[in-house]
Amino acid sequence: MSAASDLFGAPPVPGLALGEAAVSPAEEAELIARIDAAGLSPFRFQQWTGKRLTRSYGWTYDFEKGGFAPADPIPPWLAAIRQRAAHFAGLEGDALVQALVIRYDPGAGIGWHRDRPVFEHVVGLSLGSPSAMRLRRRTASGFEHRSVPLAPRSLYHLAGEVRHGWEHSLAPLERPRRSVTFRSLAAAGPVRGG
């Protein structure tokens, strides 16, 4: 039973799947080194600069201008991981057309959000420190919350209800963490906008 399951084996939110030990410790160390050498830039959202450092491949979204554009191709060092992530999500490898690598230094996190609607499936690989993905959705009486632990080297997949009906976030972390997030395009593709 995965950490995202309750006593009856059901995920806390439909559409969420977790997989542990998706990469070996040696692969994790190599991915961390590659991410750190990837020419990361501070995340920018409109006039705000975040504490996490990022780089997009395949497609990029400009949060200052509100548009999508092609980015550098997904590099070969992510190819095997992309295949594993796609297999985990039940997708063909080339369906995952965007990769976002992120370094979270101490104090960095992600606020409440949903991934842009131009994307459909979201498959993430957690590296380094353990963390917890927080989930919430609005109800008539406020917000319903869930928390899902993300172990080092684990995969998660957001689809269906959890992808479209819930927001997710990460609390600021005390120890460094890296991640790789792969995304597929929604049926309408990038012409749909963010």
Cα separation, 125 vs 3, whole angstroms? 15
Would 96 be classed as within a structural domain?
yes
Count of domains forming the chain: 1
Q: One digit per residue, pLDDT tens: the chain, 194 residues?
A: 344 444 345 567 999 999 999 999 999 999 999 999 999 988 766 555 567 899 999 998 766 666 778 999 999 999 999 999 999 999 998 999 999 999 999 999 888 999 888 899 999 999 999 999 999 999 999 999 999 999 999 999 999 999 999 999 998 899 999 999 999 999 865 543 34
Task: Specify the pairing of strand 155-158 against strand 96-104.
Answer: unpaired
- Structure letter (DSSP) for residue 76: G
Range of the domain at 142: 23-192
Q: Positive or negative, the Cα torsion across 83, 89, 95, 96? A: negative
Does the residue 157 lie in any domain?
A: yes
Distances (CA, A) of 186 to 61, 82, 107, 154: 14, 18, 32, 24
What pLDDT score was predicted for residue 167? 96
Q: Is residue 2 part of a domain?
A: no
Q: Is residue 182 part of a domain?
A: yes
CATH assignment of the domain containing 28: 2.60.120.590
Q: Is the pTM of this model over 0.85?
A: yes
Task: Please tell me the distance from the alpha carbon of residue 103 to that of residue 179, in angstroms, as a whole number.
Answer: 7
